[in-house]
Amino acid sequence: MDTKKILGTVLISLGLLGLVPGILGIFDKQDMLGLNPWALAILGGIFFISGVGIVQSIRSRTEV
């Protein structure tokens, strides 16, 4: 159980670290990291949603 909490937290953090510069790069039209902002936003979204899904599955199992 503990590894799922850690993995979920890491994925959420990576997702946020990808989403923030990605979204800012898309709307500000600036290349902050020298990478494609769309790629950062899409990968950040995937990581964030995956992490939230893992954390929700842990909470739903402990409540039942």
Average of per-residue pLDDT values in the chain: 86
Number of domains, the chain: 1
What pLDDT score does 36 carry? 87
On whether the CB atoms of residues 34 and 21 are closer than 8 A, the answer is no
- Give the model confidence (pLDDT) of 13-44 as tens digits: 999 999 998 998 888 876 667 788 899 999 99
> Any idea what DSSP says for residue 61?
H
A 10 A CB-CB count for 47 gives 20
**Cα–Cα dist 44/26, whole Å:** 13
Longest dimension (CA), the chain: 47
What pLDDT score does 34 carry? 79
User: What dihedral do alpha carbons 42, 8, 6, 17 form, nearest 10°?
Assistant: 30
Q: Which residue range is the domain that position 15 belongs to? A: 2-63
